[in-house]
């Protein structure tokens, strides 16, 4: 049965299990559970070619939505400032990092695809002006 499952789905399920097993009770647990369910929905789609628009709002000059294209699971020509946000898997990674730091990501996910629609992060909780918000829209899966 495992041989028939796509590798991405197996990895997503394993990561979801690990996060759930290590999670404390309360709001952080709820966030981990929601993250794991969304990640699983995305893995089941097994999209390799897709595009989406992403906006990073922070203490930075550019705040417009930028179109990102992904082919064979790899980003194509994404601006340098979006390198950590240029695939859906990387968006999930950023959310997981924030949850693990204990800061809460306040993430929202698309109901059908599980794709993160928005989240907030504070990489250095005791530092000023390092916070950022991410918004995603117009996901188009082509394969």
Per-residue pLDDT for 38 more than 70?
A: yes
| Residues in a beta bridge with 118 | 108, 135
**102-130 pLDDT tens trace:** 877 889 999 999 999 999 887 667 667 66
The torsion angle over the Cα atoms of residues 133, 63, 82 and 68, rounded to 10 degrees, is 110
User: Is residue 46 pLDDT above 60, yes or no?
Assistant: yes
**Domain count of the fold of the chain:** 1
- Domain that residue 110 falls in: 2-141
Q: pTM for this one?
A: 0.76
> If we measure between CA atoms, which residue out of 127, 113, 137, 114 comes closest to residue 35?
114
């Amino acid at each position: 049965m495992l041989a028939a499952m796509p590798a991405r789905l197996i990895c997503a399920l394993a990561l979801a299990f690990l996060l759930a097993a290590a999670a404390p009770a309360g709001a952080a647990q709820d966030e981990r559970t929601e993250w794991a369910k969304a990640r699983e929905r995305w893995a089941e789609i097994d999209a390799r070619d897709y595009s989406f628009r992403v906006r990073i709002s922070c203490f930075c000059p550019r705040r417009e939505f930028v179109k990102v294209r992904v082919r064979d699971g790899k980003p194509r020509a994404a601006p340098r400032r979006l390198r950590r946000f240029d695939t859906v898997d990387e968006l999930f990674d950023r959310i997981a990092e924030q949850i693990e730091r204990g800061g809460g990501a306040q993430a929202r996910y698309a109901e059908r695809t599980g794709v993160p629609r928005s989240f907030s992060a504070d990489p250095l909780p005791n530092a000023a002006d390092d916070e950022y918000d991410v918004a995603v829209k117009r996901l188009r899966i082509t394969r």
